Amino acid sequence: MADKLIVLADLGRLRAYRLSRDEMSTTPRLELVDDIEMVDAHGRLVDKVTDMAGRFPSGDSTNGSGMSNGERHNIALDIERRLVKQIAAGINRIVKTDNGTTWYFAAPSTINQRLLDELKPEVKNRLTKNVAADLTKIDKSELLSHF
């Protein structure tokens, strides 16, 4: 059996394992190839935004305060889009360095298709199995039962 890659992702982490068998053992072996933690995914939003609410001139002198909260309505969505692109770039790099290797993929259903859409065609074509589940936090001994 040729070596395969198992790539697991969620918005906070990207993990890749090499699945291999040798002639001396009947059970496959999983070896961690890469483990990337997405720094932008962790922490509170208030810690990432440096502006304090109520400190922006509103241009409206009728309300007396002259300040607005200046909130960014789509900041969480922007962060999620950026994380999806970073994860897809990491997958492209990991799978591309293992030339000719087929791979399995698992990501939560909320981001699974968006990640696949961001992958390069040569990487996506080698994908053998796609599982829409978050498997990044399970023990690697349980991982093979999902594939």
For residue 11, give the CATH number of its domain: 3.30.420.60
Domain count, the chain: 1
Does residue 55 sit within a domain? no
Q: Which domain holds residue 86?
A: 4-48+69-137
Distances (CA, A) of 102 to 3, 118, 133, 139: 8, 18, 19, 22
**Burial of 124 (C-beta count, 10 Å sphere; 0-12/13-18/19+):** middle
Does residue 62 sit within a domain? no
Q: Convert the pLDDT of each residue in 44-95 to its tens digit.
A: 555 555 555 545 555 555 555 555 555 556 777 888 899 999 999 999 999 9
Does residue 61 sit within a domain? no
Instruction: Copy the structure tokens of residue 29.
Output: 């072996």
Does residue 56 sit within a domain? no
- Evaluate whether 94 touches 86 at the Cβ level (below 8 Å): no
Q: Report pTM.
A: 0.73
